[in-house]
C-alpha cells in the first residue's frame, strides 16, 4: 500500500515536471524474471555496449558485444546508468547499496569497484570529462514537493569536489561534456518542464538550446558537432531529436508516435544513435524497454537488443 501511494505521488510529480525518464526511487523491479538475459536479438556490431537490465530482479550492469553478454554486477541493490570512461578502461555507474544513490567506478571487467560519493542524498546520472580525469554527477535533494537537482564535479586524483555551472539558478541534471569544446550540456528547469541547456565552462555562461519544457537528456556526438536529445514536442511521448551544438537545425530523428524513445547515446563512428524504446511508459523503472538503433542519415530504426528485463541506458565504446 505504502509503495503504491509513493509510486502514485512520484508519478504525479514527474508528470508535472514534464518527464525525463526518471523515477528510480520507485524502482519496482520485476521479480518473475529469473532466466537471465539469454538471446536478446543483438545486432551484429563492433565494440562494447554497457547497459542496465533488471532481468535478475534488480538492476545490474551488463556488457554486450557481438560475442555475447557479460554480467558485471551481482547484488541485491540497484546498479544503474553505466558509462564508459573515454579510454574504455572504466565504467562509472550509480548504485544504492546503502538505500540512497552514490557514484561508483569499476574496471571494464567489473573488478575493483571504487566509491566516489557517500552522502545520504542521491548522487546519480554522472558524466566523464573528455580527459577521463573527473566525473560530474547530479545531486538530488528531496523537497516537500518534488526534488531540487544540482550538478557537481569530482577530481578522481585529488577527490576535490566543486559545484558545476553554479550560475544556473534552477534545477540542473544529467551532465554531458562536449568531447572537443569546453561545453557542458545538461537538462535544466527554468520554466515548468525541462529543457536542454549548454554551459560554457570557460566563459561561465549558459544558454537554452530548447524552449517549451519538452526536452531533456542531451548527448554530444563523438565529433562534438551534434547533440542527440529527447523531445516530447511532436508526439507527447518522446522521440530522439538532433540539433547542432549551438541549438540550430533541430530535427526529429525517430518518427514514432506509438512509442516513448529515450536515453540516446551515439555509436563510436557517430553514424547511429542507440536508444531505448517503450510502448508503455517513459519511465525506466516500469513497463517494457528494449534497445534500438537509428541511422542518422536515413532515420531507419532497427532492433539492437531486447532481453527479458528492462534494457536501458546503453553506452557504446569502440
Residue 198 or 228: the one with the smaller Cβ distance to Ca ion is: 228
57 or 247, CB closer to Ca ion? 57
Report the C-alpha gap between 208 and 34 in whole angstroms: 44
CB of 223 to Ca ion, least distance (A): 26
Q: Closest distance between Ca ion and the C-beta of residue 7, in Å?
A: 20
Among 75, 191, 207, 302, binds Ca ion (CB under 5 A): 75
Nearer to Ca ion, 70 or 100 (CB): 100
Residues in the chain: 318
Would you say 124 and 101 are in contact if contact means Cβ atoms under 8 Å apart?
Answer: yes
Does 96 bind Ca ion (CB under 5 A)? Our answer is: no
* Residues between 236 and 255 with contacts to Ca ion, criterion CB under 5 A: 237, 239
Candidates 210, 221, 226, 259; binder of Ca ion (CB under 5 A) is: 259
DSSP string, the chain: -HHHHHHHHHHHHHHHHT--S--GGG----SS--S------PPP-SSEEEEEE-TTSS-EEEEEETTEEEE---SSS-EEEEEE-TTSSEEEEEE-TTSS-EEEEEETTS-S-EE----SSEEEEEEE-TTSSEEEEEEEEE-SSSEEEEEEEEETTT--EEEESTT--S-EEEEEE-SSSSEEEEEE-SSSSBEEEEEETTTTEEEES--SSBEEEEEE-TTSSEEEEEE-TTTSS-EEEEEETTS-S-EES---TTSEEEEEEE-TTSSEEEEEEESS-S-TTSS--EEEEEETTT--EEEEE--SS--EEEEEE-
- Supply the minimum distance, in Å, between the C-beta of residue 97 and Ca ion: 9
Binding part of the chain for Ca ion, among 52-60, 244-252, 263-271, 293-301 by CB under 5 A, reads 52-60
Position 232 contacts Ca ion (CB under 5 A): no
> Shortest Cβ distance from residue 142 to Ca ion (Å)?
12
Q: Considering just the CA atoms, what is the radius of gyration of the chain in Å?
A: 18
Cβ nearer to Ca ion, comparing 199 with 313: 313
Q: Residue from 100, 113, 225, 233 that binds Ca ion (CB under 5 A)?
A: 100
Q: Quick check: 58 binds Ca ion (CB under 5 A)? A: yes
Q: Is there binding between residue 214 and Ca ion (CB under 5 A)?
A: no
Pick the closer one to Ca ion by CB: 79 or 286. 79
When the beta carbons of 198 and 284 are compared against Ca ion, the nearer one is: 284
181, 235, 271, 288: which one binds Ca ion (CB under 5 A): 235
Stretch that binds Ca ion, among 122-130, 137-145, 204-212, 285-293 (CB under 5 A): 122-130
Q: Which chain residues interact with Ca ion by CB under 5 A?
A: 58, 60, 75, 79, 100, 102, 119, 123, 235, 237, 239, 256, 259, 261
Amino acid at each position: 500500500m505504502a509503495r503504491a501511494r509513493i509510486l502514485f505521488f512520484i508519478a504525479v510529480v514527474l508528470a508535472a515536471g514534464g518527464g525525463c525518464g526518471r523515477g528510480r526511487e520507485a524502482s519496482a523491479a520485476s521479480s518473475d524474471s529469473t532466466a537471465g538475459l539469454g538471446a536478446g536479438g543483438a545486432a551484429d556490431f563492433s565494440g562494447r555496449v554497457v547497459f542496465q537490465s533488471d532481468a535478475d530482479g534488480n538492476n545490474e550492469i551488463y556488457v554486450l558485444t557481438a560475442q555475447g553478454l557479460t554480467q558485471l554486477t551481482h547484488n541485491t541493490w540497484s546498479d544503474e546508468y553505466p558509462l564508459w570512461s573515454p579510454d574504455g578502461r572504466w565504467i562509472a555507474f550509480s548504485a544504492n547499496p546503502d538505500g540512497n544513490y552514490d557514484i561508483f567506478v569499476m574496471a571494464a571487467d567489473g573488478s575493483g569497484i571504487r566509491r566516489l560519493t557517500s552522502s545520504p542524498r542521491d548522487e546519480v546520472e554522472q558524466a566523464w570529462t573528455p580527459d577521463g580525469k573527473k566525473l560530474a554527477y547530479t545531486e538530488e535533494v528531496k523537497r516537500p514537493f518534488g526534488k531540487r537537482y544540482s550538478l557537481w564535479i569530482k577530481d578522481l586524483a585529488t577527490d576535490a569536489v566543486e559545484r558545476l555551472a553554479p550560475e544556473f539558478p534552477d534545477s540542473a541534471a544529467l551532465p554531458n561534456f562536449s568531447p572537443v569544446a569546453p561545453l557542458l550540456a545538461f537538462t535544466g528547469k527554468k520554466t515548468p518542464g525541462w529543457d536542454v541547456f549548454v554551459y560554457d565552462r570557460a566563459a561561465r555562461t549558459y544558454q537554452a538550446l530548447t524552449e517549451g519544457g519538452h526536452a531533456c537528456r542531451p548527448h554530444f556526438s563523438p565529433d562534438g558537432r551534434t547533440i542527440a536529445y529527447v523531445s516530447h514536442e511532436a508526439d507527447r511521448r518522446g522521440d530522439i531529436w538532433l540539433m547542432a551544438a549551438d541549438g540550430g537545425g533541430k530535427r526529429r530523428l525517430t518518427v514514432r508516435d506509438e512509442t516513448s524513445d529515450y536515453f540516446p547515446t551515439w555509436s563510436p563512428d557517430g553514424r547511429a544513435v542507440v536508444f531505448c524504446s517503450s510502448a508503455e511508459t517513459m519511465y525506466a523503472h516500469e513497463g517494457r524497454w528494449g534497445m534500438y538503433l537509428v541511422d542518422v542519415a536515413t532515420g531507419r530504426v532497427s532492433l539492437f537488443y531486447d532481453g527479458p528485463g528492462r534494457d536501458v541506458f546503453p553506452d557504446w565504446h569502440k
